[in-house]
Structure 1
Amino acid sequence: MSIAVNDVLDGVMDALASQYPGVTLVAGDAGEEHPRPLFAVRLVSVKHNREMGRRYRFSHEFNIQYAAAVPTYRGLHDVADQLYSTLQHITADGGLIRGSGMRHEIIDGILHFFIQFNFHVLSVVTPETKMQAAEREVRPK
């Protein structure tokens, strides 16, 4: 398998950095010490299920919080509208992953944007080492 958890996180961070070049980006929870405007990208959960054979299904759910320098209700909804298109696809490990299950809400002047990235991965098959001939010495008693 080639896509690591941090590859997906990096894909989200890269998409936000290219769309919002002057905005502070933080992986994890936003603290008061970070300047506003700010995106805090938090990976909420990762699911990993084996399907058939070498095929695995991964699901990464994110809560992306946006704290504006001067939050306004309409301004936060404008940012949410932009996130729906900005995060529709991200690049992770050289491939595109589609975002789904997108929704947002505003809580205490902070935009919370929720998104999932679901994808399949084939595990790498390593060639088996064949048993080599063993020499055995037999001594009669």
Structure 2
Amino acid sequence: MVNNIIDGIVIKLDSVFGADSVIHTEGVEQDFKEPCFYVKLLSANQKQILNNRYYLQHSFDIHYFPDTANKNSEMFETASKLSALEYIISGGNLIRGTKMNYQTVDGVLHYFVDYNYYAYLSKEEAEKMQILSVHNGIGG
């Protein structure tokens, strides 16, 4: 499920910034080329609501490493475009991003977004008893 959300984020970033944008999902190498994005899962939680219905919470931090000399203006322009992450397709379903905010730290844009939704998670069926024999009697 988390991989589906990451795929949805990557597809949305590609559609907004073009196929030439470099997007990392497994970490950023030491000598990476700027500008680029890094999609990082910060936390994931699940809470059982009823039987096999769960509330799933996923918090992401999308890093943007700017390239130009005007890093601040580039980061602010990128942050305004990242509002497109409000809706993504994950596993064929439309999900909405919430708590969207950003900050810049040491020349890197950090764009935070949460994807929370309800889902039915399948459980393993317990093996059913095949035969039951009951002997009940009184006497001697």
1:75 aligns with 2:74: yes
Q: TM-score, normalised by structure 1?
A: 0.83
* Partner in structure 1 of residue 8 of structure 2: 11
* Partner in structure 2 of residue 138 of structure 1: none
Q: Which moved more, 1:8-17 or 1:35-44?
A: 8-17
Q: TM-score, normalised by structure 2?
A: 0.84
Structure 1 vs Structure 2 CA RMSD: 1.9
Deviations 1:9-50 (A, max 9, x none): 111111112222211100143333221110011111101111
Identical-residue share of aligned pairs (%): 27
User: Match of 2:9, as an amino acid?
Assistant: V
* Partner in structure 2 of residue 59 of structure 1: 57
In the superposition, relative to structure 1, how do residues 125 and 110 fare at CA in structure 2: closer, same or farther (>3 Å)?
Answer: closer
- Measure how far apart 1:130 and its partner are: 4.2
Note the residue ranges of structure 2 that are not aligned, 5 or more in a row. Answer: 134-140
Count of aligned pairs: 131
User: Match of 2:74, as an amino acid?
Assistant: G
Secondary structure of the 1:87 match is: helix
Is contact 1:80-1:113 (8 Å) kept?
Answer: yes
Listed as ranges, the matches of 1:5-44 within 5 Å are 5-20=2-17, 21-44=19-42
Listed as ranges, the matches of 1:101-112 within 5 Å are 101-112=99-110
Deviations 1:99-123 (A, max 9, x none): 0000001111111000100011012
- Measure how far apart 1:129 and its partner are: 5.2
1:122 aligns with 2:127: no
